[in-house]
Structure 1
Amino acid sequence: VFLFPLHKVLNFITVIMKLPKAVVKVSPDERVFRGETVTLTCDIQRAGDIQWTYSWFKDGSVIRDVTERLYSITSVSDRAEYSCRGERSDSQRSDTSAAVTLTVSGVSTLTVSPDERVFRGERVTLTFDIQGAGDIQWTYNWFKYGLVIRDVTERLYSITSVSDRAEYSCRGERSDSQRSDTSAAVTLTVSDLKPKPELTSDPAGAALTGNTVTLICHMNPATGWDFYWYKHTLNSETKTQTNSYRVKIDSVSAGGQYWCRAGRGKPVYYTQYSDALWVNANPSAQTHGGFYMQDGANKRISVLM
């Protein structure tokens, strides 16, 4: 009688009893777009010609009524981990595969420039962005109140002269016919009145020569504007990106009328001019506080010498 060493017998039994290995394959890729169709395939090594049924798992929980080797997700919507396991007709099982993670891109955002609150006649640009869009060719469908806007297929949609309140949304479509989700709608609110800023000064009232007066051009909404400043005449213009402008009161000539207005966009949409603010360099010998006087729409600051 020939006897095998015990360790060889145990190794042989281990090989015989080792479970077949299951592997999940993903098509087209583990990085997918929202709404895309994804096919998962459960491959079992050394499966042979025996009949298998399959169990699929999402984040560790069994997916009911899915027992085929191929599992198609017709409209993927969220990030998840998938794994599978096979069972033979003789009740023997494979091991459970390593999980594959589907990472879902395609979340879309719609932004508005210069603002969702706009003025009649202003130019507005809507921009549609798709997370993880990559280098794939996209075309775009734009919607106004849910109805498609014909002949607009670019990522940027410019309304050259906005006239009415409306809701806009957008959706992207790839060259392989896969789509992004439709963005949340943005609402353009259109004001008929051309805005008029208010011009004030800090400090208000008197200012001594040698000091500085800060002019402030108040706008609502306050963001997204450039500001234009005028002294003595509307033909003299200084542009700033902030709504404040410092005036050095170093002589009588620093006094006079000042105006401001705001502008934004390309081409620039200008507001009305503010009412005039008078900065008055007063050569009198007064030694007590100056005066602040408003005459109609014009505001006057007295500067003591």
Structure 2
Amino acid sequence: NNVQIQKCIYEYQSCLVHSLAMDLSKASLRADSRRVPAGGSVTLTCSVDASADWRYDWFKRQTSEYSKSFMIKSGTAEQNITISEEGTYYCRGGRGDPVVFTEDSNTVTIDKIKRHLKTARITQNPSWIKIFIGERISLTCVISDGDGAQWEYEWRTTSLESLTKITGDWVFYTSISSAGDYYCRGKQKMDLHPTMWSYPIRLTVHSSKPKATLNVDLLSGSGYWDLTCYVDTSPSTWKYFWYMGEIPSEIKPGQDAAASNKQILVSQRGLYWCRGGRGEPVYYTEFSEPMKVGTNQGSGSLVSSPLMTGMVCGNLLLCGSLVLLFIFLLRKIK
């Protein structure tokens, strides 16, 4: 400024007065808020208590007292700028050619409100690993610490770009296109910023129904047959249903069967079937092949009865003994 003043002395007397007035001018900085909301901004206003035609330079340094300052904007005609980062800011005014600057303004320190990012996760019900076409599945988007707030939910899958739902539950019956990765996130109704996307949950959908298998064993000497049904996929997830007759009619506990879910004991001869079921509403497997118990009549698999064979053989032996005794007595009488 001394050089400018000396130049003015030699050129124009009035310029000297003008430059001295500038030297005494100081910029002032104010902010509409000292804290930047998450995802928001703060407006800074720089002003000089003098006539118009000022242009403004804007500076920032980190919140550390000894950090280096750097210019973020230069020569703006507007008194206002918008910032979204924390730090310490100041400004200055300048005008004329060559430019004469005011003193630096006061500093304003802006802090950033630390946003506690809520997280989303997906729960699956039922939580089966192996899912078959046509099964009913419920997915729920759960927001950590999200109780009491009004949330909207957004879902994304491998085959579906985006789906917005009011509730966090997504219930559907599976198809081949249901296979893939599922993501969700939530957003409070009055908030512009959603949570992060959840980690994916993967659904694998098998295209055909599983089929039950029925095994039959005779309990020796008891007159009962042991029927065992199983489904060759995650056995613990299935309940078993039992049927009898050419047209399958369900056997309920107490109807000539001691039911223990996977196994039953039966004494009545006939045609038996089984199948598995799980979920609500119940999703059924295909019926097993029918098994014919205690007889070789009709179709189906034959289950022989050693007990019956023994009874027949015993009766023949008894009859034979009686015949021999009768012949012996006739000879003795003669």
Provide TM-score, normalisation by structure 2.
0.49
How many residues are matched?
205
Matched, 1:167 2:181: yes
**Which residue matches 1:279?**
293
Kindly state the Cα deviation for residue 260 of structure 1 after the two structures are TM-superposed: 0.8
Matches within 5 A, 1:3-152: 71-72=111-112, 74-76=114-116, 106-113=119-126, 115-145=128-158, 147-150=160-163, 152=165
What SS does structure 1 have at the residue aligned with 2:163?
coil
2:186 and 2:164 map into 1 onto residues whose CA distance is 14
Task: Output the amino acid matched with 1:262.
Answer: G
- Aligned-pair identity in percent equals 25
2: CA distance, partners of 1:151 / 1:173: 10
What is the CA–CA distance in structure 1 between the aligned matches of 2:289 and 2:278, rounded to whole Å?
Answer: 20
Q: 1:145–1:166: 8 Å Cα contact kept in structure 2?
A: yes
Check whether the contact 1:146–1:169 (CA below 8 A) recurs between aligned residues.
Answer: no
Structure 2 letter corresponding to 1:300: V
Contact 1:111 1:128 in 2 (8 A): no
Larger Rg over CA atoms: 2
The residue identity in structure 1 corresponding to 2:262 is S
Which residue number in structure 2 is paired with residue 245 of structure 1? 263
Greater share of strand residues, 1 or 2? 1
Change (3 A) 1:66 1:180: closer
C-alpha displacement of 1:262 = 1.6
Task: Identify which of structures 1 and 2 has the higher relative contact order when contacts are C-alpha pairs closer than 8 Å and 6+ apart.
Answer: 1
The answer for unaligned runs of 5 or more in structure 2 is 1-35, 40-62, 66-84, 89-108, 309-334
CA 1:66–1:303: 2 relative to 1, 3 Å = farther
Answer whether contact 2:239 2:277 (CA < 8 A) is retained: yes
Q: Cα RMSD (Å) of the superposition?
A: 4.0
Give 1:147 shift.
Answer: 4.6
1:196 counterpart letter in structure 2:
K
Show the counterpart of 1:302. 305
Say if 1:241 and 1:213 are closer, same or farther in 2 by CA, change over 3 A.
closer
* TM-score normalised by the chain length of structure 1: 0.53
* Deviation (angstroms), 1:156: 1.2
